[in-house]
Each structure stands twice: as C-alpha cells, then as structure tokens.
Amino acid sequence: MGENMDENTTAAVLALRQELGLENEDECKQSDAILIKFVGWKADLARQAQCWQNLQQWKSENKELLTPPLRLTQDPDLKRLIQEGIMTQPPITDKDGRPILFGRLRLNNTSDGRTAEMVARMAMYNIEVMLNRPEAISNGIVVVHDFSGLKMSNIMPRVPALILDVILGHKLPIRVAGVYFVNAPFFFPAVKAIIGAGMTPKMRKRLHRVPSLDTLSTILGVDLTTLEILFERIDDIHSQSAWVEQRIEIENSNADADSLLLAV
C-alpha cells in the first residue's frame, strides 16, 4: 500500500480493492494512487466501486477517444490544441478550494481541419490533469468560460456529446460544482442549449450566465483584481507554454502512470 497514506485512507483503499476484487496487488495494475482518487471523491464504498466500474466500461467502449494515449508526447494534435490555451489551469482556486478550469472558446479555430474528437481529447486531457490534484478530488472544480469574441464557428456541437457522459456521468471521480459563462454573446441561449443537451436537469442548474466580473468575484470568492488579470492578461499569472513543457517532463519521467484515462 502507499507509504504516504494515513491509516484511515489506507483502510479505505484496501476496502475498495476488496470490493472490486483487486486485493492481490501483484496481479492488479490499479495502483493506490489511482484508487485513492475514488476514495477521496465519495465516502460511500458502493459509489466508489460503481464509479470505477463505470469508467472501465466507458473506456472499453470508447477506445477511439483514448487512442493514441492522452499524452502530449504521443499525439502532436493534442499538444497543439493544448498549447493554444483553449482551456487552461491557472493557479487560482475559489473560496472553497476548488481549482478553476478556464476556457476561451474563441481560440478554437475550426477552420484548420480539427475534428470534434481532437477537441474532445483536449478537454479530457485537461480533466485528467485536474484529477491529479488532491484538492480537485476532495473539493471539486469550477469551470469559467470567457465568451468574449466568441463566434458560432468556434463551436463544435459534437464535442459536448463526446465528453459530457464521461465527465458528468459518474464515470470519473470528479465533481463540477458550477460552470460560469462571462461575456456571453447574443446567441448564448443557442450555445447553452448545445452544451446542456447531454446534461441531467440537476447539472443544467449548475450552468450560470454571469453578467460581470464583479458578480463572478462575489460568487467564487476570488478578488476582482485577480479575475481581471485572468481575463485580460492571463500570461501574467499563467504561462501555457511553460505548463506544456512541465507536462512533457512529467510524461517523459512516467510520473503520470496513475492517470485514470491512461491506466488499463
């Protein structure tokens, strides 16, 4: 078992192993670092096990979305889309300690031949990396979209259909506490309908159009100055190119071996 786990966590991981029939570590490819994500997600053992089983089934049915592996070092198209910064992970959390996934869909240039599958893989890669952050597992995440400059040509309706099931369908140990849209264009109702089409009514209630950064600051508990930097000059607090290089180093050292969408 993992050397850095406390007694309660060790017991919980062992219980999940037993529930899944994975007690024999010599025969099991599921590391403690993988199972601990499910333990941290929900306290209920049955829900942990069901989520794990749901993920295995989804992976077996969607191999085309996971091939080649979700690694920047193995997929030039994935690396290119990640470098574009359509989705980024700035060093900001909300008042409840939830990491913020920041989207700028205007950067999604659909005229270059990219497919919905390529964009879906980019989104899944970001979620995968989020799941390597303990605070994302224990607290959940929030998604903030800056829709300034958005055009209908930036939107690929098939992308939500490809990713929402795995992200929101209890197939990954992650909780999306809220999705916030700022600077929404006049055609936002159509965009929201596309995004929400594959969601449950409960999840659709977590989609929020926010009228201003002042309002978003109040909702998230993040000071207004930080949000202004995030929206207007993100490079002051986050370098996407440096983040990509860091991820490549992690992949080359095989330090991402416990990633859920890589593990068999």
Give the pLDDT band of residue 24 (cuts 50, 70, 90). low
pLDDT for residue 79 is more than 60: yes
Confidence band, pLDDT 50/70/90 cuts, at residue 98 = very high
pLDDT at 47: 97
Q: Which residue has the tokens 């309660």?
A: 8
Closest CA to 203 of 178, 174, 180, 220: 178
Pick the more confident residue, 49 or 31: 49
- What is the DSSP code (8-state) at residue 99? B
Evaluate whether 125 touches 78 at the Cβ level (below 8 Å). yes
Report pLDDT for 19.
94
Q: What is the pLDDT of residues 128-172, one digit of tens each?
A: 999 999 899 999 999 999 999 999 999 999 999 899 888 888 899
C-alpha 149/C-alpha 158 separation (Å) is: 21
pLDDT at position 48? 96
Residue 1: predicted pLDDT? 46
Mean pLDDT of the 8-19 span = 92
Give counts: helices (H), strands (E), the chain. 12, 5
Identify the H or E element spanning 87.
strand 87-88
Say if residue 209 is exposed, middle or buried (CB neighbours under 10 Å; 0-12, 13-18, 19+).
middle
Q: What is the CA radius of gyration of the chain?
A: 19
Question: Which residue spans within the chain are E strands per DSSP?
Answer: 87-88, 100-103, 141-146, 176-182, 207-210
DSSP 173: S
Residues 6 or more apart whose CB falls under 8 angstroms from that of 122 comprise 78, 81, 82, 86, 87
210-224, pLDDT tens digit by residue? 999 999 999 999 999
DSSP assignments along 122-161, one per residue:
HHHHHHHHHTTSHHHHHH-EEEEEE-TT--GGG--THHHH
CA distance 32 to 48: 14
Residue 134 corresponds to which amino acid?
A: P
Phi, psi (rounded to 5 degrees) for 225: -60, -40
Signed CA dihedral, 223, 225, 228, 234: sign only: negative
Residues above pLDDT 90, as percent of the chain: 74
- Judge contact between 240 and 47, C-beta under 8 A: no
Distance linking the first and last C-alpha atoms of the chain:
19
